[in-house]
Amino acid sequence: MKYDVRYQGFREEMEKQGGVVYSYHHEIHDDMSEDIASLITQMYYDHEDAQGVFAESFMLSVDIYRTFASLGIDIPNEIKVIGYGNAEYRRVAIHK
C-alpha cells in the first residue's frame, strides 16, 4: 500500500523517538459514517494506552473527535487528536 509522504515522515519521526505507530486503513464508500465510528471505537479499545491519533484528513479528525466524545473520552486530557489536510474544511469548529 502506498502511504502519504506526511504519514511516512510522521511514522519515521515517531519511531526515532521510541514511539509506536498503529496504522488503520479503511476502504472508502458512499455511506461510511457507521463503519468509521465502529472502526474508531475498535481502534481506541485495541490501544487504550495510545497518547494520540494522527488522522489523514481534517474531516476524519472530526469523526474521531465526535466518536471519542460519545464514548466519554476526555480530549485532549486522555488522548490527543491531530488532523491534517483538507484546508477547505478549516471553518468547521468543534465546541466543548
3-state secondary structure labels for all residues of the chain: CCCCHHHHHHHHHHHHCCCCCCCCCCCCCCCCHHHHHHHHHHHHHHCCCCCEEEECCHHHHHHHHHHHHHCCCCCCCCCEEEECCCHHHCCCCCCC
Share of the chain above pLDDT 90, in %: 36
pLDDT tens digits, one per residue of 56-94: 888 888 899 999 999 999 999 999 998 876 555 555 555
Q: Give the pLDDT of residue 1.
A: 44
- 88/26: higher pLDDT: 26
User: Which residues make Cβ contacts (< 8 Å) with residue 5, sequence separation at least 6?
Assistant: none
Residue 23 has pLDDT above 80, yes or no: yes
Of residues 11 and 94, more confidence is placed in 11
- Give CA–CA dist 89/58, Å, rounded: 7
- Beta bridge partners, 82, equal 54
Q: For residues 34-58, give the mean pLDDT.
A: 88
For residues 50 and 79, the answer to whether their CB atoms sit within 8 Å is: yes
Looking at every residue in the chain, the average pLDDT score rounds to: 81
Query: Is 60 exceeded by the pLDDT of residue 25?
Result: yes
